[in-house]
């Protein structure tokens, strides 16, 4: 924004499940790390072996490591809550682990999943992250943005659940390829066109968000709180 010295501290991208951080923020992350910014990723859940199979759980973890390496992530934090079962844990448990992480790394900028996403895990992670960031004292995350996730954000109920209409655009013309490479590293998660989780859909979204602000490619976000 207008005060150029603001929000230069650590950035934290919170993903309910591995690859959400790439789908929503990959190009922006790459641009930030290229400038030397410290970017953390928090994966809120991990697939339970009994549900997803031990192999898949390990595979996804390795894919995330590769993707985060491509993006230049400073550190990845696995919270190990139960994937697709967040609603069975006490809300307070997620609040506490996120608050602990936010405080430990001194996160100044947050990127969160959208509360209107169709996946209940996304909704719960959003709310807990907001609780973890309450401005109840002098220090707290001063900038909070919500990102969109293909295969989640567009699949909820139009006009009956909160809409995603971006008011913040980051030019990723120079880092789109890095984003696509990072997503490709999640080989077990990429789907063939015309699925929403395809490279084609991801590229189309970047082109559209870019065109809206006359750029070759962009990521769109909703600003939730910015303090200067």
Enumerate residues 118-157 that contact a copy of itself by CB under 8 A: 118-120, 126-127, 130-131, 134-138, 140, 143, 146, 150-151, 154-157
Q: Which of residues 208-227 bind a copy of itself (CB under 8 A)?
A: 208, 210-216, 218, 222-227
Q: Is 194 in the site for a copy of itself (CB under 8 A)?
A: yes
Which lies closer to a copy of itself via its Cβ, residue 37 or residue 65? 37
179 binds a copy of itself, rule: CB under 8 A: no
Out of 166, 175, 178, 183, the residue judged to bind a copy of itself by CB under 8 A = 166
Does 46 sit near a copy of itself (CB under 8 A)? no
Which is nearer to a copy of itself, 18 or 145 (by Cβ)?
145
> Looking at beta carbons only, is 26 or 115 nearer to a copy of itself?
115
CB contact at 8 A, 227 and 135: yes
Q: How many residues bind a copy of itself (CB under 8 A)?
A: 87
The CA-based angle 173-36-5, given to 5 degrees, is 90
177 is a site residue for a copy of itself (CB under 8 A): no
CA distances from 80 to 16, 42, 223 (A): 10, 10, 27
Query: Cβ distance 44 to 16 under 8 Å?
Result: yes
Nearer to a copy of itself, 65 or 173 (CB): 173
Specify the pairing of strand 39-46 against strand 143-147.
unpaired
Please state, as a whole number, how many other Cβ atoms lie within 10 Å of the Cβ of residue 189. 21
| Residue in the structure block whose two tokens are 């192999």 | 55
Comparing CB distances to a copy of itself, the nearer of 65 and 204 is 204
Among 53-61, 66-74, 98-106, 205-213, the segment contacting a copy of itself (CB under 8 A): 205-213
Residue 106 touching a copy of itself (CB under 8 A): no
- Closest listed residue to residue 189, CA positions, set 57, 69, 68: 57
* CA pair distance 145, 140, nearest whole angstrom: 14
d(CA 139, CA 118): 32
């Amino acid at each position: 924004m207008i005060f150029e010295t603001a929000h230069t501290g650590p950035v934290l991208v919170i993903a309910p499940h591995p690859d959400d951080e790439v789908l929503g923020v990959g190009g922006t992350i790459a641009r930030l790390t290229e400038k030397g910014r410290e970017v953390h990723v928090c994966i809120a859940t991990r697939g339970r072996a009994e549900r997803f199979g031990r192999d898949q759980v390990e595979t996804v973890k390795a894919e995330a490591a590769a993707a985060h390496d491509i993006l230049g992530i400073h550190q990845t934090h696995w919270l190990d809550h139960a994937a697709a079962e967040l609603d069975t844990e006490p809300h307070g448990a997620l609040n506490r682990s996120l608050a602990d992480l936010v405080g430990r790394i001194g996160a100044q900028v947050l990127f969160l999943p959208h509360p209107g996403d169709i996946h209940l895990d996304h909704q719960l992670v959003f709310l807990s992250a907001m609780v973890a960031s309450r401005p109840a004292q002098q220090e707290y995350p001063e900038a909070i943005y919500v990102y969109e996730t293909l295969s989640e954000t567009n699949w909820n109920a139009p006009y009956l659940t909160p809409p995603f209409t971006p008011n913040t655009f980051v030019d990723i013309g120079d880092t789109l390829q890095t984003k696509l490479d990072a997503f490709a590293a999640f080989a077990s998660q990429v789907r063939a066109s015309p699925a929403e989780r395809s490279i084609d859909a991801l590229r189309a979204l970047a082109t559209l968000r870019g065109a809206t602000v006359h750029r070759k490619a962009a990521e769109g976000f909703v600003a939730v709180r910015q303090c200067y």
